[in-house]
Amino acid sequence: MERDIAKLVYLEAVLKETFRLYPVAPLVERHTDKDLKLKKYTIPAGSDFMVYYYAVNRHPMWGPDAEQFRPERWLDGTAPTNPNLFASFGIGRRSCIDFQPFVDKVLKIAQEKEGFTDEKIKHQLNTIVTAGYDTTANTPTWKKNRKLLHPMFGLQHVRRYLPVFNLQARRLVERFTEHENKGAFNPELHVHVVSLESICHFQPFVDKVIKIAQDNERFTDENIRDELKTIVLAGYDTTANNRDVDKDDIPKLVYLDAFLKEALRLYPVAPVVARHTDVDVKLKKHTIPAGSDFFVVTYAINRHPMWGPDAEQFRPERWLDGTAPTNPNLFATFGLGKRSCIGRTYNMLSMKTTISHAVRRFRITADISKLVLKQDMLLKPASGQHIILEPRID
């Protein structure tokens, strides 16, 4: 009965403690319209900034056991009285509006399921809230999965998808035709539709992954889900006359390659990624202790001063004239080191094919100064990026 919900006091404490330690959104972006005065700093009006909910929820004001799972803190009066220190569902007026209904549903399920204990709820919530977020798989699991999947993303194998890329590029050009000479428009919907069609052609790849799983007992359903989610999500968001593009054309698209790298340098799809360290990592001025979870801000790496005084400018020529840094880790869009994006070749080949079809058909212009970005899981235009199409050929 709904009237019993209020009696499930300890269960509610378990839920809150789980979300405190494992917030679904550990990092969110905010914008301030006026100066925001903090204790030691002032955030100027017009600033975009990040709020680190994960750290707020583990602030020292939670006590010496802030890192421990202890639901009792919500019942014995030791939890902080400041509501802003529990940031899992947001802070202030922009907090999540669905918090209480969600908690009520979980409590109702617990009430109706015999033997559904507090410990089981804690375990399930840990699994649920971290499943979509965790990018820090343990090293043995990651190595095993990467070894099995790596051959499928080699250049030779990815080239087999060129007919699909060409087909979808032609379809996108057809959809764009209705906007010729009609002023600025947002191409986002067209790109998403064509991207989803491409994913449908991805079925043979899915079948191969499943076969790998069948042949390898330790390649679990969860492994399959995580790998496909990573690949499809990346492919979906990075994908934006004549004859088709073939494998011999790709090495010749030198300026297009530089153009794409420069665009992805300034606007990485994943501007922040999570990592976990099994050993102490020594940096120039700091050491990250073993067992730490931390964030790598790829957006900042890609605009590091080592890119030169024009680091904030879009200049594809830097990739051709020798002025781009020689250290490969300063281009972090596809990740760093062994855990870099396995789908890089696939994504780049897809984008090159699509853009080569589009620019042969249209003259494309846009005003980059009007681009406003937002970040949820990925970095995206807040309201699309409008472009203007003019026919290149009659």
Q: pLDDT tier at 300 (50, 70, 90 boundaries)?
A: very high
pTM for the predicted model, two decimal places: 0.58
Whether residues 387 and 247 share a domain: the answer is: yes
What is the number of other CB atoms lying within 10 angstroms of the CB of residue 65?
Answer: 10
What is the pLDDT at residue 70? 92
| DSSP class of 58 | T
For residues 347-367, average pLDDT:
91
Whether residues 100 and 177 share a domain: the answer is: no
Map residue 158 onto helix, strand or coil: helix
Please count the residues of the chain: 394
The alpha helices in the chain, defined as continuous H runs, are 9-21, 53-56, 99-112, 118-131, 139-149, 155-158, 162-177, 188-200, 203-215, 221-238, 254-266, 298-301, 344-361
Q: How many domains does the chain have?
A: 2
pLDDT surpassing 50 at residue 134: no
Pick the range with the lowest mean pLDDT from 11-20, 312-321, 340-349.
340-349
What is the pLDDT at residue 50? 75
> Which tokens is 57 given?
């929820």
What is the number of other CB atoms lying within 10 angstroms of the CB of residue 385?
Answer: 20
Sequential DSSP letters for 244-312: PP-TTTGGG-HHHHHHHHHHHHHS-SSSEEEEE-SS-EE-SS-EEPTT-EEEEEHHHHTT-GGG-TTTT
Which residues share a beta bridge with 285? Answer: none
Q: Is residue 158 part of a domain?
A: no
Q: Is residue 72 part of a domain?
A: yes
Q: What are the CA-CA distances from residue 369 to residues 235, 256, 317, 364, 372 (Å)?
A: 26, 22, 20, 16, 8
| Domain of 95, in residue numbers | 2-131
What is the pLDDT at residue 186? 87
pLDDT surpassing 80 at residue 25: no
341 is in an annotated binding site: yes
Strand 373-375, strand 379-381: pairing: antiparallel
Whether residues 52 and 102 share a domain: the answer is: yes
Judge whether 329 and 293 are in contact, CB under 8 Å.
Answer: no
Give the integer Cα–Cα distance in Å for 255 and 275: 33
Which of 119-123, 218-222, 310-314 has the highest mean predicted lDDT (pLDDT)? 310-314
For residues 20-35, average pLDDT:
81
CA 225, 272, 370 angle in degrees (round to 5)? 110
Whether residues 218 and 356 share a domain: the answer is: yes
Residue whose C-alpha is closest to residue 53's, from 93, 6, 86: 86
Q: Is residue 154 part of a domain?
A: no
Residue holding tokens 């507090």?
118
Whether residues 189 and 263 share a domain: the answer is: yes
Q: Is residue 363 part of a domain?
A: yes
Q: Is residue 29 part of a domain?
A: yes
Residue holding tokens 């999965």?
145
Map residue 211 onto helix, strand or coil: helix
Q: Is residue 145 part of a domain?
A: no
Q: Is residue 155 part of a domain?
A: no
Amino acid at 71: P
Q: Is residue 319 part of a domain?
A: yes
pLDDT surpassing 80 at residue 275: yes
Name the average pLDDT for the chain: 78
pLDDT (tens digit per residue) in 305-330:
999 999 999 999 999 999 999 999 99
Report helix angle 221-238 to 203-215, nearest 10. Answer: 160
What is the pLDDT at residue 66? 92
CATH at 359: 1.10.630.10
Q: pLDDT tier at 88 (50, 70, 90 boundaries)?
A: confident
Whether residues 110 and 178 share a domain: the answer is: no
Whether residues 79 and 205 share a domain: the answer is: no
Q: How far is C-alpha 240 from the chain's CA centre?
A: 16
Q: What are the CA-CA distances from residue 361 to residues 7, 53, 94, 356 (Å)?
A: 66, 47, 44, 9
Whether residues 20 and 92 share a domain: the answer is: yes
Residue whose C-alpha is closest to residue 50's, from 66, 26, 23: 26
